Amino acid sequence: MNPLAIPEIVIRRLPLYLRCLSLLLAEGQIVTSSQELADKLGISSTQIRKDLSYFGEFGKQGTGYDVRYLRDQLRQILQVDRCWNVVLVGAGDLGHAILRYGGFDDGGFSIVAVMDNDERKIGRSIGKLQVQDIAKLRKVIRKHGVQIAIIAVPTSEAQHVADALVSAGIRAILSYAPITLSLPEHTRIEYIDPVIGLQSMAYYLSPGHPQRPPT
């Protein structure tokens, strides 16, 4: 099937299912149901079954899903049953924190290079990697067959870095900067935005302590 024939919103839910299944598997669970996934994710079981049905038949009526099989299938569908090399741009506090994040490998990603334009940072070691000059971006991307980059630079530099990444051949960007980047239509972009998560929780809080009047 043409990958573009499936609604993007469906694709964006698959990693949530995958994370949930990986967790169940780690807990030793063999079988699950769309209802159990629904309860854990706050997505309706009908929606989950409909999303999965785009890709085939994964469960049997009444017996549910084999956790490992469904996880493996989702990893294949999302193409994360392999390891994608990733370039990280920005070797500041955030870059350090990202390199220390423990979840990339299991998810199907490996940060193979960290780059910066700050001469005081270039050449320094962070874990197993040495910070490289952003001027070598094109070379690094070619060498490692990189299609994905993470932007962890100050807001004022994010668009400039994004432009450089696209022109060097990057096809997907994960940005930590709190601005919307302007990119060619064929370039994928995802944002890490803590405010989105905070706002969906604020809805449920009791409005006990507003600290400023409405604006």
Would you count residue 39 as binding a second copy (CB under 8 A)?
no
Determine which residue in the list 31, 85, 129, 166 makes contact with a second copy, applying CB under 8 A: 85
Interface pattern 8-27 for a second copy (x via CB under 8 A): xx-xx-xxx-xx---x----
Would you count residue 83 as binding a second copy (CB under 8 A)?
yes
How far does Cα 189 stand from its chain's mean position?
Answer: 10
- In the bound complex, what is the minimum distance in angstroms from residue 211's beta carbon to a second copy? 5
Q: Among residues 27 and 60, whose Cβ is nearest to a second copy?
A: 27
How far does Cα 43 stand from its chain's mean position?
Answer: 19
Would you count residue 28 as binding a second copy (CB under 8 A)?
no
**For helices 8-26 and 45-53, what crossing angle results, to 10°?**
110
The strands making up 109-116's β-sheet, listed across from edge to edge, are: 132-133, 109-116, 84-89, 148-151, 172-175, 188-191
Contact (CB, 8 A) for 126 and 114: yes
Q: Among residues 98 and 131, whose Cβ is nearest to a second copy?
A: 98
Q: Among residues 28 and 102, whose Cβ is nearest to a second copy?
A: 102
Determine which residue in the list 54, 66, 171, 183 makes contact with a second copy, applying CB under 8 A: 171
Write the burial class of residue 72 (CB in 10 Å: 0-12 exposed, 13-18 middle, 19+ buried): middle
Contact (CB, 8 A) for 37 and 48: yes
Footprint on residues 183-202 left by a second copy (CB under 8 A): 188, 190-202
Closest CA to 94 of 189, 180, 176: 176
- In the bound complex, what is the minimum distance in angstroms from residue 63's beta carbon to a second copy? 26
Footprint on residues 49-68 left by a second copy (CB under 8 A): none
Strand 84-89 relative to strand 148-151, pairing: parallel
Q: Among residues 13 and 163, whose Cβ is nearest to a second copy?
A: 13
Q: Among residues 123 and 145, whose Cβ is nearest to a second copy?
A: 145
Determine which residue in the list 31, 33, 66, 108 makes contact with a second copy, applying CB under 8 A: 108
**For helices 45-53 and 34-41, what crossing angle results, to 10°?**
120
Q: Among residues 70 and 98, whose Cβ is nearest to a second copy?
A: 98
